Structure 1
Amino acid sequence: MSARLQPGDTAPAFTLPDADGKPVSLADHLGRKVIVYFYPAALTPGCTKQACDFTDNLDVLAEAGYDVIGVSPDKPEKLAKFREKEHLKVTLVADPEKEVLQAYGAFGEKTMYGKTVTGVIRSTFVVDEQGKIEHAFYNVRATGHVAKLIKDLKV
């Protein structure tokens, strides 16, 4: 189990392929705040709801100075299908090796339907303009999370 990040920690750097296979780096966003969210799998009900909520609120978040990057262990091809099927505008990146998921403490043991399993821990991080963790939310719910996040960030 990887350690959990805390506010003030330096956000682990990453460069991962997006749905089109183009590299996306956290460093590309220095100078802007970034919401990095980790979700278990594209094209599943909860993850679809969450990605659609981020897409629906992308303009509001962008106006407040936030970029949004969604990370899952899916391959870029699956992310492209997800984006097309759901008309997503949020940037989705692939982490099939789960290195970034682990660096953020978003992969490990979790409880699902009363059983302990190893997998993606649905988590959201707000990274400030200097690349430091401003907020770290672990075990978030897919439904209602974006609305709560917007409220917490006072957007």
Structure 2
Amino acid sequence: MDSLTQIVLGAAVGEAVLGRKIGNRAMLYGAIAGTIPDFDVLASHVTDTVSALEIHRGFTHSIFFSVVFAPFFAWLVTRYDTHKSIKDWSWLFFWAFITHPILDAHTTWGTQLFWPFDLRLAFKTIFVIDPLYTLPFLMCVILAML
């Protein structure tokens, strides 16, 4: 999915996981966490186009990444925002990380949710850029923020 949709999804996850406990900051952290799996696009700067396409939606879009790196990012956040425990932050990062590739799996490009196994899931039920999905979702997140 496009970056805006992943940001909106991450913000919604942040609200669902920690919104009642820390307010709108949960949406901010969720929005940031929702974009982290797409940092694999930086591979296009150090490799050829075909390899970059293979890397994208690979490791950072896997269950493995979500499980292993959620506690790491939670630990980083608790260095600066001590309002909640590492466990609470881990849940926020885990759900933001895991919902990202699940949404991507519904596009025609698919994702390697079960990395390191070479199995790309592509349900082909939603366009990569789909305003009919994103705009109503964005309006609901804005209403939740207010």
Structure with the bigger percentage of strand: 1
TM tier, smaller: under 0.3
Q: TM-score, normalised by structure 2?
A: 0.26
Q: TM-score, normalised by structure 1?
A: 0.25
Higher radius of gyration, 1 or 2: 2
Structure with the bigger percentage of helix: 2
Q: Which has the higher contact order (CA 8 A, sep 6+)?
A: 1
